[in-house]
Amino acid sequence: MAATTTVVDVLIIGAGPAGLALANWFRNSNITVLLVDKKPGPTPRGQAEGLKSTTNEIFASFGIGSQIAAESWRLEEIAVWGQSANGGIVREQVVMDKVEELGAIRETLLQQSRVEHHMLQNLLSHTNISIRYSTSPVSVVVDGSCTHEVAGYPVTVGLTRVKQSESEPNGTPTANGTNGHSHDTEYISAKYVVGCDGARSWLRKQLDVVLEGDLTDSVFGVVDLIPKTNFPDIRRVCYLRAATGTILLVPRNNKEVRLYIPVESGSALPDPKDLTLDRILAAAREIISPYALEAGPVSWWSAYRVGQRVGSHFSRRNERAFLVGDAVHTHSPKAGQGMNTSIQDAYNLGWKLRLVLQGHVPSNPQALLRTYESERRPVAQDLIAFDRGYLKLFSAQSAQFDTEFLRAMKFTTGLSIRYAKSCAVQLPSGVEDLGPSLLKADLIPGKRLQDFQAVYHADRIAERIHKRMHASGAFRIVVFAGDIAEPGLLAKSQSLGDFLANRESGLGRLTMPSVGDDAAAWQDVPVEVLMVHCAEREHVELLGLHEVYRPWSSDEGYDYWRVLADAESVLEGHGRVYERLELDRHQGRCAVVRPDGYVGAVVDVNDFQGLKSYFQGVGMVEAEPYQNGTSH
C-alpha cells in the first residue's frame, strides 16, 4: 500500500449543507481546506428545503443571498383545519406566516441540492479550498500533546477512494468505512478535522461521542407531488388535524405540494422501509376526506421514523476535532430546522477557526474554540425540546393557539437563541445572566443582531445589515451614533473615532492595516468600523466625519460604504432601525458584532474601556501593551 501525505489546515468530512457552509468561511484567505465526501458528486436531490430568515442572512453574508432568494419559494399563509361536527374537516383559522420584528421574509423553500449548488459554486474560484468526491476516511489520529500555542498539524486522517458501487445508491454515506477497502490510503495532516458527515457520522464514532435521546413513536410518510384536489387551501401551509393524525401540507414550486403524513403510531410500528406510496397516500386521503386528493406527478417520496437525539460532545481532543449538524443532532423535519441548524452550527464554528488560523487570537485560542460546543449544544437541546412539544400545539383546538403558534414561529426563526456569557459574549459589568431568553428582536449580547435596512449615506441605496456584514472573518464595531446633526453627538462620534483609530492607546491595531493603506491591506483588518446614524442626510457631510468612518486607501480613495443612515429609501420604505432596536436617537450606542452576526457586546458610545475589554476577552488584544488596559 503506497502512502502519500497531504498537509492542509482544515479537513472537512462531508460536503453537504454543513460542510459547504463551513468551507465558505475560508474564502479570500490563505487557509487551506480540503472537503471530502463519500458521494460520487453533488447531491442530485435533497430532502430538506425549508430556509429560515437567519439562514438566508447567512447566505447574504456569503454573497449568494440574491441567487438563492431568486430560486426560492415563498410561504405567506398558514391555515389550521380541525374536525367538524359532521365528521369532516373545517378551516379554523388562517394566520400570516410572518414575524413582525423580522421585517423580512420568515421562511422560504429551496431544495437542498440547489442550496448546496450555490454554496459549492461560491467556492470554485478559491484555490485554497478543494473538494474530493468518492473519498472516504478510514482512520483518524489526534496527537494529544499538541497545544494550541504550537503551530503543528496534530491531526492525521487516512483517506481512501470509494469505488462507485460502494456508495449507496442514494448517496448516503455508509455507516462504516474502516474495513473492506482495498484501495491505497492517503494520509492527510491537518490542524483541525470537522465531521459534517450526517446522521450516521463516521467521525462521531471515532471520537467516542454518543447520541443521547430516543426514537419517537410515529412513522411518517413524506411525498412531493402535484395534487389534483378540490381542497381549497392546497396552496397554503396547512395543519390538518383529523381523527387519525395531523397532516402538514407545504406548497412548493413547480406546482408541487409536500405532504407530511402520519401513517402509523403506537408501540407496534412497522419498519419505515415496508411502507409503500399507496399506503401513504391512502392515509392522506383518509385525513383530507371528504375532499378528494389524487396524485399527479410524484417527484419524490420517503418514509421515516424520527430520532430525537443530541451528541454528548460537539468538540473533542483539545478542540482539534469537531462535529457539526446532523452528526450531533437529529429531530423531526416538520419544523424545517434540520438544514438550518446544520448551516448555523457551521456558521458558528467557521469564523472561530479562521480567526485562530490567521493568528488573530494570540491569547488562549482554545477558549474561543470551546465556545462552539458551549453555544451550539444548548441550541440543539432546545430544538429537541421544542420538537417534542411542537405538534401537540395542533392536537386540539386551543384558545392560546395564536400566541403559542407565534411563539413557535419565532422560535423556529432562531429569534430566541441567546448564547451565554463567554469569552466571546460580554455582559454588562457585574451581570452574569440576563434572565430568560426573550423572543424579542432586541440588541442584547449573545443574540443575533436583528437584520435591518438602512440606506448608505453617500448614495441612498438601501442595504440590509447582514448582507453588508459579509463573511470576511471580521468583527464589526457598529456605532449607532444617533442624530449627529446635533453637535454634541457629532463630537462624541469623533472622540470615539480617535479611540478606534489610535494604534497605541486605542483599537487602531485591530481597525487599521498594519502595513500599507491600499485596498488589499484593508481587507485583512480584523475589525471593521461601521456607523448607523439617524440624522437628516442633508445635514451631514460624509467627509466631515472622523476618517475611521470613511477611511482612505491609496489606490481606491475613500470608502463610501461604512456610514449608513436610518432614513427613507427611494423604493423600499424606511428601515426604522432606531425604533425597532429601541435606540435613543439622542444617545450613542455601540455594538460589537461578531463575524457570525451575533452581538458580542453593547456599550455606551463613550465607553472605550468596555470596547477594549471585549477584545481582550476574545484574546485578540493582550492586556499588557496598553496604558489603560485592565487585567481581564
**What is the Cα–Cα distance from 448 to 453, expressed in whole angstroms?**
15
- Read off the C-alpha cell for 573: 420604505
CB 287 within 8 A of CB 245: yes
Pick 561 or 626: Cβ nearer a copy of itself: 561
* Beta pairing class for 527-533 and 475-482: parallel
- Work out the number of other CB atoms within 10 angstroms of the CB of residue 432: 7
Distance between CA atoms of residues 206 and 203, nearest Å: 5
User: DSSP H helical segments within 483-599, as ranges?
Assistant: 487-501, 508-511, 519-523, 577-580
**Least distance in Å: CB of 77 to a copy of itself?**
5
In the complex, the smallest distance separating the C-beta of residue 460 from a copy of itself, rounded to whole angstroms, is 4
Site for a copy of itself, rule CB under 8 A: 66-67, 69-70, 74, 76-77, 94, 96-98, 104-105, 226-230, 232, 234-236, 251, 255, 294, 296-297, 455-456, 458-462, 538, 541-543, 555-558, 560, 569-571, 573
- Nearer residue to a copy of itself within complex by CB, 100 or 579: 100
- Smallest distance from a copy of itself to CB 79, Å: 10
* Shortest distance (Å) from residue 154 CB to a copy of itself: 42
Residue 108 or 416: the one with the smaller Cβ distance to a copy of itself is 108
Burial of 539 (0-12, 13-18, 19+ CB in 10 A): exposed
Grid coordinates given for 159:
483517506
Cβ distance to a copy of itself smaller for residue 77 or 442? 77
CB of 109 to a copy of itself, least distance (A): 12
Task: Return the number of the residue (74 or 163) whose C-beta is nearest a copy of itself.
Answer: 74
CB-wise, 459 or 624, nearer to a copy of itself?
A: 459
What's the one-letter identity of residue 617? G
Phi and psi angles of residue 508, each rounded to the nearest 5 degrees, phi first: -55, -30
Report the C-alpha gap between 242 and 230 in whole angstroms: 18
Query: For residue 248, what is the enclosing H or E element?
Result: strand 245-251
**Which one, 76 or 442, has the nearer CB to a copy of itself?**
76
CB of 70 to a copy of itself, least distance (A): 3
**Is the Cβ of residue 354 or residue 457 nearer to a copy of itself in the bound state?**
457
Closest CB 226 distance from a copy of itself, rounded Å: 5
Helices (H) and strands (E) counted in the chain, each on its own, are 15, 28
Residue 155 CB, shortest distance to a copy of itself, in Å, is 39
User: What does the alpha-carbon distance between residue 386 and residue 384 come to, in Å, rounded to a whole number?
Assistant: 5
In Å, how far are 2, 119, 189 from 63, measured between CA atoms? 42, 10, 31
> Based on CB atoms, which residue is closest to a copy of itself, 227 or 311?
227
Beta pairing, strands 462-464 & 453-456: antiparallel
Q: How far is CA 149 from CA 11, 152, 181, 219, 354, in A?
A: 20, 9, 37, 50, 16
Minimum separation from the CB atom of position 151 to a copy of itself (A): 36
